[in-house]
Each structure stands twice: as C-alpha cells, then as structure tokens.
Structure 1
Amino acid sequence: MAFAITQNCCNDASCLSVCPVNCIHPTPDEPDFGKTELLYIDPRSCIDCGACADACPVDAITRVSRLTGDQAIYADINADYYRDRPSVAEWGAPKFPPASINSMPRFDVAIVGTGPAACYAAQALLRVPSSRITFYDRLAVPGGLARFGVAPDHVGTRRIGEHFRSVFVHPRVTMKLGVDIGTDITHDDLGRRFDAVVYGTGADNDRPLDIPGIDLPGSLSARTLVGWYTGHPDVSADAIDLSDVRRVTIIGNGNVALDAARILTADPADLVGTDISPHALAALRGSAVTEVVVAARRGPEFAAFTRSEAQALVNRRGVDVAVSGPAEALSAIDELPISAPGSALQGVASVDDAVPGTARRVVFSFGRAPVRLNGSPRVDSVEFSDGTTAESDLVLLAIGYRGTPSPGMPFNEVLGAIRNVDGRVVAEDGEPMARRYVVGWAKRGATGGIGDNKVDAEETVDALLQDIAANPPEPKKRLSRLRTR
C-alpha cells in the first residue's frame, strides 16, 4: 500500500533524496517544481518503505491505508498527478559540492532575517566547514514567517520551526536579535564587517488597492490579523475587536484569506493548546462573527488559494461553506479537474440554495471585484463591480504582500523585492554589488510557500560560494561585535 502526500506539504523536497525508487515528483530538476502546491507520490512505483515519511519535516506524508476520511481525497490527488506521466522516471544527474569545499579559507557571512529562506541559506552555508554565520533580526525572537505567518491550527506546518532550531544553536552560528539592519546598522557597515551578506528579509507590506474608502476605520490588512493571532510583536493585543463584528469581507482569495476565514469562524476550543496568542483566543471566545465572505475578482478556475486550504475549510465540521457569484462562475466549479484548487468546492451549495445548519459560515464569492468601501465613521459595506453590495463590519485586504525599500539597498518596484540577478544584489545600473546576496521573497517577490525557499536559497549560496572561491577574502581581524547606532 502506497504513501500519499497531504495538506501539510511544505514543498522543500526533503523527502526526495531518501526515496530509493524515485517515485516522488516533481523534483527540483523538473519544470513543474515550484508550480505545484504539493509534491506527489506515484502509487504505481511506491514500495511502501516509509523513508519519505521519516524525512518529512512537517509530517505531511501518510500511509494511504491510514488516511482519515477528510484526508482520503489525497490518495486520488497523488495518483491523478501521474495519470499522463510514465511510471518510471529517470533519475536526475547527481549534484556534488565543489572539490574546493574543504580547502576554502574561513569566511564570515551575515544573514539578515531568521525566517525559512534565511535558515535554508544557513543550512547550505554550514556544509562548508570554514563558514561562520551571524544572524541578524529586527525582532527579539527568531523564526520569521515560520513563526508569525503560519496559522496556529496548522500544527504540522508549524513544525518546520523545529526543523530550523538546530541551525540557531549550531556552534558556528551567532544570533543578534533586536537589531534593525538599515537603521541600527547601515548596510555599508555590515558589508565592511562581513565577507558576504545574505538578505532574507521577506515581504513586510501589502500590495496596494486604490479604491475609495480603503482607509476607513474597520478596513485592515489581513497581515494585521495574522500578526494578531500569531502574537507578532508589532501587532498590539487590541488591534482586532470582534465583539461587535458579525460579518467580515475578505478582499482576495489566496491562502492568507482562507487562513483568516478559518480562524475567524473557528471553535475556540479547537485552538486551545495551539500557538495562538492568548489575546486572540480570548477575543475569539467573545466573537460575534457569524459570516465571512471571501471575495475573488475572478472565477473559480483562477482561484488563488491551494486546493488543500479550501479542502480544509470544506471538510470542517461545525461551519457551513457556500458559494456565490454569477451563474457561469458557479457552473465552472463542476467542470474543474481534481488538480484545480477550485475543485475542492465541488458539491458545495450556492448561497441562495444553502440551508443554514450551523451558527457560522464561510462564503466563497466569485467574479466580484471591489470598487468602493462605504461607511461613516467606520466601514459598513463593500461595493463590487457587478453592482452587488455586501454589508460588512470588518474588511480585510488580502491581495498579496510586497517588500519595503531599505535605505542603501536597490529595490525592484515591480516585484516589490531587492533588485538582483539569480540572488546577487545588483545596483540600479545593473552592476553586482560586492558580496551582497538575497533569498526568499526578498529575492523573487512574495510568491511561493515555505519549501520553495530551499532551492531558491541553494541557488543563491552557490553563487556566493563561486564568488568566494574566485576571490577569497583576505585574513582580517575578527571584531567581537559591530557597533550599533
């Protein structure tokens, strides 16, 4: 009986290297890698050894015979990926470290950020015996997105933090927390102190939505809600008040939107024992929320959420799920293949036909682009391009993230990321900046999940090591600390 990869999959490919029969795809060498929401096990080739399950850092791999009723669909999803693919795939060419890896001189690298991308970069660098790493983070606690971006009820996904814990306590790693690079220490000062600097600062701002009323009280970034329920130090405990909020409209339909919808309609008892912040748990116990509308400007065939996230909402007991929108949008749901994210909504009743069975519900509203937020002094409704209006006590913007420019660092305004070529930071004139590198969302923009950062980081570290090998750093006095402002 084969194994199957389920919802928690982080896509970091840790399972691939231990599979003795090469039955997990797509691999980093294949075109689909980074474009699928999961990796998939071929049930025709799997020999049931369980090595992949042992290697998975987020417990996403389960024997098919042990899938729960809610997870059973993943046996079909894994098998469907191989429907038109050969049962025996060729092994990719082996990749070996450079022969000079053990003879490289000592070099010191500063890594700015402590999230997944930064940690994957550190893992790659620590394979070189002569490397030394110093992490810098603006916050007083490490973890980045793995700590403050993953919903508390995604217990499996949050285990990725345990996977990185060994990096933070490695004997060749130093941690400098509560230091804001660009403010407390300039980028130039950091570059002079270290032989290389790797930026893994993520994306800490929202993509803008320029419509009337977007700045009304009661209109917030979903990023604020996420920080509120994960206990982010930048978000105050009273940032969200749900005591008088009955209907919430979320603009956008990516995974952040679905996380927000799920937490806002959750039974607080189900969140006890998770990493949810105490103030959020208390607020949810007194919440008046009865409905959350997830508004998507396009149809279900263009859904931005992953199938796994939608499946988790549909399978949840105690909360109704319905769909709304133009007739052609709703009819498109039934035509979607099983691999399409929107197919998770097949069989879900339309909002007009649904018979309420619980106290709370989530409505997926398709084909509705917001054009205006109304209200005085607070937001009370959202107008959409199709002429409909949704009464709302709280509006959350969840249309994507982007980075924030930092003084002294070149910035790509289109991507909302640090200007770079294959991980090497480049100046406005296109010339590489000496030994400055970037990984993760700060490199490619806010796209991809946690595991996508692994291959991304290894590409950047390969470039860094090539540069170190071609131009070894000169021995210099090692300073015990770097002065801050």
Structure 2
Amino acid sequence: MAFFRARKLLSQSFSILSPQPLRVCIVGRGLTGSYTAGLQSFSTLSPQPLHVCIVGSGPAGFYTAEKLLKKHQGAQVDIIDRLPTPFGLVRSGVAPDHPETKNVINQFSRVAQSGRCSFLGNVTVGSSVSLAELRELYHVVVLAYGAESDRVLGIPGEDLKGVHSAREFVWWYNGHPDGRNLDPDLKCTDTAVILGQGNVALDVARILLRPTSELAKTDIASHALTALEQSSIRKVYLVGRRGPVQAACTAKELREVLGIKDLHIHIEEADLKLTPADEEEMKNSRIHKRIYELLSKAATATPSQPSSGQRELHFVFFRQPDRFLESYDKKGYVSGVHLEKTALKGIAPGKQIAVGTGQFEDLACGIVLKSIGYKSVPMEGLPFDHRKGVVPNLQSRVLSDNNSGDPPLFEQGLYVCGWLKRGPTGIIATNLYCAEETVASISEDLEQGSLASTASLSKPGRDGLLQILEDRDVRAVPFSAWEKIDEEEKRLGSLRNKPREKLTTREELIQAALV
C-alpha cells in the first residue's frame, strides 16, 4: 500500500496555486520503499539529478521527454508551453475528422503523469522566462516549439483581406486561442482557392466541402462549425506549381478527399499526360505512382459537368500565383488570383522544378488560403537561420553563431527537435525518430564529457523555474489543471453529442483549470 500511495503522490502535478514542489518522505527500507524512492530516479553516477527543460509540448517535445526518461534514470524533465493546453499540433493541427490520429495523446499523457516529468502550460519563453534563464536553471534545454508562423509568397496583393494562411485557418477550426478571432468570410463567395496540394491543403479543402452534419460529430470548434453551416462556398480549387505525379500529398489524404460523398471532381485531361521523366519518377516511387493513379481514376469516373447543387473540387496543376487581384466593388478585398502557367524543367526524375512560361490567366474567388509551408520563429539568444526558418544544428546540437572553426562550436547544453530542427516536414511519427537522434546526442555528450562540467553542477531545475514564475506572477498550468480542462471540454461536448467542445480562449481555459 505504501508503494501505491507514494506513486500516486509523485505522479500528481504541482498545484496551480502554489509555486512550491510537493516533497514526499517515504518511510521504509524494503521493496516498496526502495522502489518508490526509485521514482525520483537520482543518477547512480552523480548525487545530482539531470535537470532537463523541453520547450514545446507537441509530438517532438513529448517524444523527447519519453526517450530521455527511459534512457536516463536520473533525469527530471519539465515540459513548458506558451499555451495552457499540451499536445501542440495533435490538438490544434490534426483535422477534427481524424480522431484516430489524436490517440497518441494517451501515450503523451502517461509521460506527463510519470513521477519524473511535469508539464507547465501558460509559460512563454521570452516574457515569462528567458532562454538564458532556462539555461542557468537546467543542465539541458531542448527547444521543440515547432513552427508557429508561415512562409510568404512576397507577391502583390498578399495583404488583401480574404487572403489567409492555411495555418491560421486550421487553428481557427481547431479552436486554437490564437486563431479564435480569424473570422474568415465564407458567405461572400461560392469559390475558394487553396494554394498548395500537400496534406494540409487537402485537410482544408475537405473541411470546406465535407457535409457539416458529419463535422458536427467531431471536436471541431463551434464557431467554425457555425460559419461552415452558413458557408456559400461550393467550389474549391487546389492549385499546384507542378503536375499530378509531383503532388505533395499522401495517398491516404487524397483518397479521403476524393471520397467525400456527392462531390464533383474536375481535372484537366491535358494535366494528366505523362512525360518520360514522370514515368521514370513513378517507377522509382510507389507513392507518386499511387497518387497519379488515384487522380486519373477520379478524373475518368466523374461526369464532365457537375449536377445541380453539387459541390466541386478542382485540381489545377502547372500554375503558380503571380499576384492577388483586388475587388472593384470592395476595396482592400481579394477577388481572384492572377496565375502563371508553368512547365517542368530538368530531366532528372524527382528533381524537376516548375518555371514560369509567361502565359497568364485569372481565377476568380472571394477567399484564398495559402498552404505553402509553416515557418519557425526565432527567440532572443538563439542562433537562427532566417532563410531556412530553422535553428542551425548538427544532429540536434545547436551551432553557435560564431561557428566558423573546425571542429564546429556548439551551444553547450542546448538542443533542438522537431520542425524547429529540420523544417516543417513529416508526419507525427517522424518526430519519434527525430527525438531519438536528439536524445542520442545528449547521451553521447554526457558520456564523452562535453556536458560533464554542466551536469556535475547542482542546478535548481523545476524549483528555480517555479520561483521565477511566482516572482513574476505567472500563473502556470500544470498537467493536473489540464486534466480539469479536458474533463470540462468532454462534459460540454457530451451535451452536443461531440467528443469534446473545445474552450477557445485563454481566459476560458484558465478558468476551467482553476475549478
């Protein structure tokens, strides 16, 4: 019984009302006492635990925490996030009609509930605590805060009203607090243009075209569901610079959008013609071959004209945006996209690039969603490659700004993982392999002594962070408080026959956490 009581105590998160850590004394020298004390997992090689702070609670952050806890029995890991809620893009990026993809939350929750790990939400690096302070508090800091901005096209009209990034739109329908006030006008037009043909672009198209009666059974944000129910959009154009063989989506995502009931699919027959390079590329890539086959089948299986009232999805290949057109009637608002036709240059399969041909055409619309890539943002005191939108690193180790020598110079104790490390590519599981590399580099640095001087020092870790947050009147949200938010969202969802009704403002989230 002593073991189970101790384990329960140690697995509980810190109180949101107290900055002080829970301290437990275990009386007993037998199996239960020894095993329970092991939950604190002080290193057998050092009298001091290895204090690790992970910035960002998405898949990259949680996978890193999980791997670190397994690899280093003396580690104590704290995961901080600027939002009151954990799980990053699993919560705010995965489409609401993909509930099975969100099951990984259960795995991440077990990590956060372990005795050697804590989650602290509503903590922003920069305003709540600086990166320099975190590096003083912890032996190791891992930055895994993802990509919270967007690439830009840099073409005329990009700032017109009605031109949004797909990231903003995804955050809006997923109830992200920063997307709550986007308020896209879905009633001003019957046509939407999506620039890009990757998985995010297909997600956005599917949300715009899927029957709202089906979306109503998901955890989509209520404000988004209401707007979609009132939407006038009946046509969606997915525009890509290259051809169907080079489309950046996965077969699974493509099948799903093609499978929307009562949807007319349109693809120009000329766009499906293959070049020798296309055929060679399909020989080398089963994925590209499957995508081309799905598109070809959809094109031939669909009547040439939509039936009355039928929604339409148009795949537009070999086009790139040249500028956005302003409405004559509504100054400052978008009314279309001026597109340049493209052609593929190069003969190497898989390495052909799209170049403009000097031929143009206009595509009228009332809303544009740019799905051209996410971009990470820098923070003070962090080396950053603005062109690539990543932190310069070598196998997760952050390279110093003054890195001109050989061997390279690293920021001691500072690592990266996820999109901040490699760019916005891959699926959720990709972050698992990325985290393995990050933890391997940390372990190697500990073994080889490059972290020895730091790791041998006593560091305040969590205690020091909580003290700073208390001094600055920052109300941190521990995992136990997130569980209250989770419980309230599920309760509200049950009233509407939904898995959950997301709270979409910081104020609502904090209030639910304090109950």
| One of 168, 183, 200 as aligned partner of 1:239 | 183
What is the TM-score when the length of structure 1 is the normalising length? 0.75
Q: Distance in 1 between matches of 2:213 and 2:317?
A: 31
Aligned match of 2:392: 419
Aligned match of 1:473: 456
RMSD: 2.2
Q: Distance in 2 between matches of 1:351 and 1:344?
A: 10
What is the TM-score when the length of structure 2 is the normalising length? 0.71
Aligned match of 1:439: 417
Displacement of 1:332 in angstroms is 2.9
Q: Aligned to 1:124, what secondary structure does the other structure show?
A: helix
Aligned match of 1:330: 272
Q: Partner amino acid for 1:205?
A: S
Aligned match of 2:232: 288
Q: Distance in 2 between matches of 1:302 and 1:238?
A: 32
Aligned match of 2:498: none
Displacement of 1:237 in angstroms is 4.5
Aligned match of 1:483: 468
Q: Distance in 2 between matches of 1:238 and 1:143?
A: 22
Aligned match of 1:397: 370
Q: Distance in 2 between matches of 1:168 and 1:196?
A: 18
Displacement of 1:308 in angstroms is 1.4
Aligned match of 1:381: 336
Q: Distance in 1 between matches of 2:139 and 2:430?
A: 26
Displacement of 1:118 in angstroms is 0.4
Q: Distance in 1 between matches of 2:189 and 2:460?
A: 59
Q: 2:53 matched to 1:106?
A: no
Aligned match of 2:310: 359
Q: 2:242 matched to 1:298?
A: yes
Q: Aligned to 1:348, what secondary structure does the other structure show?
A: helix
**For the Cα contact (< 8 Å) 2:210–2:260, is it kept in 1?**
no
Displacement of 1:242 in angstroms is 1.3
Aligned match of 1:310: 254
**For the Cα contact (< 8 Å) 1:218–1:393, is it kept in 2?**
yes
Aligned match of 2:115: 171
Displacement of 1:199 in angstroms is 0.5
| 1:242-301 deviation line (CA, Å, top 9, x unaligned) | 122310001111111110000001101111221211111111111111011000011112
| One of 63, 66, 91 as aligned partner of 1:120 | 63
| One of 329, 339, 345 as aligned partner of 2:287 | 339
Displacement of 1:349 in angstroms is 2.5
**For the Cα contact (< 8 Å) 1:152–1:158, is it kept in 2?**
no
Q: Aligned to 1:483, what secondary structure does the other structure show?
A: helix
Q: Distance in 2 between matches of 1:107 and 1:321?
A: 56
**For the Cα contact (< 8 Å) 2:212–2:225, is it kept in 1?**
yes
Q: Distance in 1 between matches of 2:431 and 2:44?
A: 26
Q: Distance in 2 between matches of 1:271 and 1:146?
A: 18
**TM-aligned CA distance change 1:290 to 1:351, over 3 Å:** farther
Q: 2:109 matched to 1:136?
A: no
Residue-pair matches, total: 384
Structure 1 unaligned residues grouped into runs of 5+: 1-99
Q: Distance in 2 between matches of 1:210 and 1:332?
A: 31
Q: Distance in 1 between matches of 2:65 and 2:142?
A: 9
Which shifted more, 460-469 or 395-404? Answer: 460-469
Q: Distance in 2 between matches of 1:458 and 1:433?
A: 20
Q: Partner amino acid for 1:232?
A: H
Aligned match of 2:381: 408
**For the Cα contact (< 8 Å) 2:162–2:185, is it kept in 1?**
no
Specify the structure having the higher radius of gyration (Cα). Answer: 2
**TM-aligned CA distance change 1:476 to 1:207, over 3 Å:** closer
Name the one with the larger helix percent: 2
| One of 348, 366, 384 as aligned partner of 2:298 | 348
Q: Distance in 1 between matches of 2:49 and 2:446?
A: 10
Displacement of 1:161 in angstroms is 1.8
**For the Cα contact (< 8 Å) 2:138–2:459, is it kept in 1?**
no
Displacement of 1:211 in angstroms is 1.1
**For the Cα contact (< 8 Å) 2:51–2:459, is it kept in 1?**
no
Which shifted more, 390-399 or 161-170? Answer: 161-170
Aligned match of 2:201: 257
Q: Partner amino acid for 1:108?
A: H
| 1:197-250 deviation line (CA, Å, top 9, x unaligned) | 000011111111011111111111111110011000101245223122310001
**TM-aligned CA distance change 1:243 to 1:251, over 3 Å:** same
**For the Cα contact (< 8 Å) 1:324–1:350, is it kept in 2?**
no
Q: Distance in 1 between matches of 2:250 and 2:323?
A: 27
Which shifted more, 346-355 or 244-253? Answer: 346-355
| One of 132, 144, 150 as aligned partner of 1:188 | 132
**TM-aligned CA distance change 1:296 to 1:310, over 3 Å:** same
Q: Aligned to 1:418, what secondary structure does the other structure show?
A: coil
Q: Distance in 2 between matches of 1:169 and 1:120?
A: 14
Q: Distance in 1 between matches of 2:326 and 2:388?
A: 33
**TM-aligned CA distance change 1:251 to 1:477, over 3 Å:** closer
**TM-aligned CA distance change 1:153 to 1:444, over 3 Å:** same
**For the Cα contact (< 8 Å) 1:139–1:178, is it kept in 2?**
yes
Q: Aligned to 1:332, what secondary structure does the other structure show?
A: coil
Displacement of 1:343 in angstroms is 2.8
Q: Aligned to 2:424, what secondary structure does the other structure show?
A: coil
Q: Distance in 2 between matches of 1:269 and 1:102?
A: 58
Displacement of 1:419 in angstroms is 1.6
Q: Distance in 2 between matches of 1:235 and 1:482?
A: 31
Displacement of 1:185 in angstroms is 0.9
Displacement of 1:133 in angstroms is 0.8
Q: 2:151 matched to 1:200?
A: no
**Percent sequence identity over aligned pairs:** 35
**For the Cα contact (< 8 Å) 1:219–1:394, is it kept in 2?**
yes
**TM-aligned CA distance change 1:223 to 1:461, over 3 Å:** same
Displacement of 1:352 in angstroms is 11
Structure 2 unaligned residues grouped into runs of 5+: 1-41, 342-359, 404-408, 473-515
**For the Cα contact (< 8 Å) 1:237–1:279, is it kept in 2?**
no
